[in-house]
Amino acid sequence: MSKQAGFDGTLKAGGNEVCEVRDATFNLGLGTADASSRCSGGWRERVATLKEWTISGTIIHKSNNQSISTLRNALLTRSTVAVEFLDKDLEGFTGNGFVTTFNQGQPLEDAMTWDFTIEGDGPAVFADGLTS
């Protein structure tokens, strides 16, 4: 495993690479529930609950762009989209998720962009780069 620059990463949505992505972040989380009682000795106790994952990022706007259409249509039709979030060694995560936000920015002195969030629908599967 080697150090890698962020631009070597790959984000795919609906089977197509989203090469216009500027920044992207994969988040993996675990919820907890309070399991404290009078027997906890004054300390809070927790139990693990549900796992979740999200991908958020920014895409540079380009007219008639397939990636933008895929994400926008997934949101508008309330459909899941297959996503892959991988490094150059093809390690990372894959899964299906709902596009929950899709916002356009039109700054005065910068490129037009789309900010998006994809929330996982089911597990994020670890891709180890060894299998194809």
Confidence of residue 24 (pLDDT cuts 50, 70, 90): very high
Q: What is the pLDDT of residue 6?
A: 61
Of the candidates 99, 86, 95, 88, the residue with the CA atom closest to the CA atom of residue 56: 99
The pLDDT tens digits for 73-93 are 999 999 999 999 988 888 899
Domains, the chain, with CATH or none: 8-128 (2.40.30)
Q: What is the pLDDT of residue 10?
A: 86
Q: Which ranges of 5-89 does DSSP label H, i.e. alpha helix? A: 66-76
How far apart are the C-alpha atoms of 102 and 127, rounded to whole Å? Answer: 26
Mean pLDDT, the chain, rounded, equals 91
